[in-house]
Each structure stands twice: as structure tokens, then as C-alpha cells.
Amino acid sequence: MSQFNRRRFVKTAGSMLALGATSGTLLRPLAAHAQESVKLGLLHSLSGTIAIAEASLVDAEKMAVDEINASGGIMGRKIEVVVEDGASENPIFAEKARKLLERDKCAAIIGCYTSASRKAVLPALARANGLLFYPTYYEGQEQDKHVIYPSQEATQSVIAAIDWMAREKGKTIFLVGSDYIYPRTCNKIAKATITKLGGKLAGEEYAPLGHTEFSSIINKIKAAKPDCIYSTVVGGSNVAFYKQLRAAGLDGSKITLLSTVVSENEIEGIGKDNAAGYYACMGYFQSLKNPVNERFVKAFKTRYGQERVIGDPMEVAYNSVYLWKLAVEKAKTFDPEKVAAAAGGVTLDAPEGTVRVHATNHHVWKKVRVGRARPDGQFDIVWESANLIEPNPFPQL
């Protein structure tokens, strides 16, 4: 290089460096821009009474995020997770949702477990025009433009459960549940279904949340001599309920009990011996035989330990991350309002099989299954719907 050209090169380079120093991003490498992250909030109870059921959902969500990031992220951007603890307290859920949306600028939140916690965050979603994916089966009766509901609403599981029991085990059915909105809504649907099928309601009883003394209800069940029990008893109460049923001679070999709230995770707490022989109706069971689920279970156990089990809400939490990704890619933007609008019709080949977001109500079409608990805490699947079941969050009963 001649002395003149060398001086001109140095001068030009110096000018460009000076320009870059004063213009900020002008000379920022394109690759750095491509690696800019997008924030996803994970909002669940990591402490308090609900944590025993809810904290494990974060594990499944983080695994999905890492898988997506390993494959290039979403539209060239890596997902940055922001985890917050709702602490099993609805006001804390509301506060943390505001923080995730307004301070952290999360493009979406995956979170909540109880309906009360979900309803607590709705004002924050409306204020910030945010988007929530709610991964827990629930009672329906809601359709919010800021929420996607990837799990089954009540009609999808309850009607299938009652229909299966009436067809396979008998039409005289006793209803027992915890005393709050989900069990009462489910039992309203159950009673209408029993009547429609020409069955008989043998009884209907409720116990307060956290209740541990079921002898009175069990005596009523024994006196009624039903063919089946449909249970929506939730949480730690199931430990006492299942143990006391077994002690009263109503174990899984003596009576048909089916729950729409007891997955593999709950059986860990109830005790495998106490749950053996009873039934559950869910969208997902860990024992499902298909290539997607087998890869999912293997990856989860490799990451978190061979002793871990996967229940329905965990799988739906995992699905939720992928449904958000697909909706973003369809919308070609992370804008929550546009992503929500694009979510309708999005289809995912999930561990449970195909799920599809309903075009209008933002719940999901999905298959529903009945499984019988084995002594090892897993389920033998005894029935599954032939087709995807359409969500109907506002049934006419």
C-alpha cells in the first residue's frame, strides 16, 4: 500500500470510528441485533400452599424455552425468562403481573394455577394490553381477549368422564367435591349430563378446602350404594379422602371413583397405594405412547431426574411456550394484541397429541382420556376420545 493510500485509509477509518462513537448503534454488528432477546414471564406459586402443585410447571416451561433457544429462538431472538413467585396469594399475583408487564416489558406471561389467581391478574393484563397463557384445567365461564386457555375447560373433561362411567360402570353416580367454584361448576355440568343419559344422582356433597375428615361423606356414599363416585376434591384433602375411602372398604377394587383433578403429581402426595385402582380424566398422561411424548418424557427426566413424574398441567405449561412461539411467528410480531389475534387456528403436535386453538374463544380443541392409576403411580389409559373435542366454555345446561 502506498504512503498516500495508507494515510487515507487511516484517516477514513478514524472518521468512521469517531462517527460510530457519536452515533451509538450506527456501526453495531447486525449479528448483535439478531441476538437481542425477548422477555417471557413465568408467574407461578413457588411458595405457599399451592406451590406443591404449581411450582413444577416452571420446570416444564423452562425446558421448552431452552429447546426453542437451542433451535434459534423466535424470529431470530432468544427468549429471556423472568420468573416471579405468586406465593399462593392472589394480591401478590396481581402485583407480580404488573411488574412483569410494565417494568420488565415481557411480551407474554405463562402462569397462574387457580382461577382466583388468574382473575387477579386480568386488570394488569387489560391495563398493559398484555397476554397470558393459562395452563391449568378450569371451570370455563370465561373468555378474555388477553388470555389463551390451552388446557381443558370443564365441559371437555366432565361430559367425557360422566359419559364413560355411565357407559362402562353404571349410571348411579355420587358427586363429591371441595367447596369452591370449580367443583360446583363441574357438578352442575355433571348433573345435566347424568340426566341426559338417563342416570341417577345418588348424592352431592362438598367439603371445605383443606378439609381432612371425610367420614360423614363416606358414610353417605356407602348408604347410597352408587355405581360410581365423581370426585372434584382438590389439593391436600385428597390425601385424607383417598386414605379414608380405602380404610372404609371403598378402594379402587371395590368402587369406581373418577377424578378430573388428580394427575400423576397429586398421586405422589396422596400415596401410590391409596390411589391405585381409581380413575382420572385428563388430556394428558405420562404413559401415553407416541414419539413426541416419549421424547418429551425422556428429555424431562434427563434434565430433572429419573424419579420425576409429569402430570397434565405440566405438559400443558410446556405446550403453552410453543403455542406462544407459533402465534408470534404467525403474527410476525411480538405485539401481544396481534399475537392473541393470530393464535386462533394455531395447531401444535404436542406430547398429548394434536391441540388447536379455537378461532373465536381462545380455548383449545383437544383429545380427552380416562386412565386407571397403577400401583407405581402411573396410569393405564382405558379410553380416549376418537376426535378432538371442541371447547365450550359457556355451556347451555
- Model confidence at 49, pLDDT cuts 50, 70, 90, reads confident
Q: Are residues 105 and 52 in the same domain?
A: yes
* Count of structural domains, the chain: 2
**Backbone φ and ψ of 249, nearest 5°:** 85, 15
Spatial distance between the Cα atoms of 269 and 340, rounded to a whole number of angstroms: 36
Q: Give the chain's mean pLDDT.
A: 91
β-bridge pairing 279-282 and 369-373: antiparallel
Is the residue at 189 inside a domain? yes
Q: Are residues 254 and 206 in the same domain?
A: yes
Q: Are residues 268 and 222 in the same domain?
A: yes
Name the residue with higher pLDDT: 214 or 33.
214
Is the residue at 391 inside a domain? no
CA 328 to mean position of chain CA atoms: 19
CA 175 to mean position of chain CA atoms: 25
User: Is a pLDDT exceeding 70 seen at residue 258?
Assistant: yes
Is the residue at 261 inside a domain? yes
Looking at residue 32, what is its pLDDT?
Answer: 39
Is the residue at 223 inside a domain? yes
| Side-chain half-sphere CA neighbours of 165 within 13 A | 35
Q: Which three cell numbers stand for residue 251?
A: 378402594
- Model confidence at 33, pLDDT cuts 50, 70, 90, reads very low
Cell 453495531 locates to: 28
Looking at residue 13, what is its pLDDT?
Answer: 42
Name the residue with higher pLDDT: 363 or 17.
363
Q: Are residues 269 and 143 in the same domain?
A: no
Looking at the chain, the whole-number percentage of residues with pLDDT higher than 70 is: 91
Is the residue at 394 inside a domain? no
Q: Are residues 178 and 307 in the same domain?
A: no
Q: What is the CATH number of the domain that holds 190?
A: 3.40.50.2300
Structural domain boundaries, residue 244: 154-282+368-384
Which candidate, 107, 155, 115, places its Cα nearest to that of 135?
A: 115
Which candidate, 350, 381, 376, places its Cα nearest to that of 364?
A: 350
Q: Which three cell numbers stand for residue 327?
A: 402465534
Q: Are residues 294 and 270 in the same domain?
A: no
Prediction pTM value: 0.88
Q: Which three cell numbers stand for residue 59?
A: 420446570
Phi/psi class of residue 105: alpha, beta or left (left: φ > 0; alpha: ψ in -120 to 50)? left
Q: Are residues 250 and 372 in the same domain?
A: yes
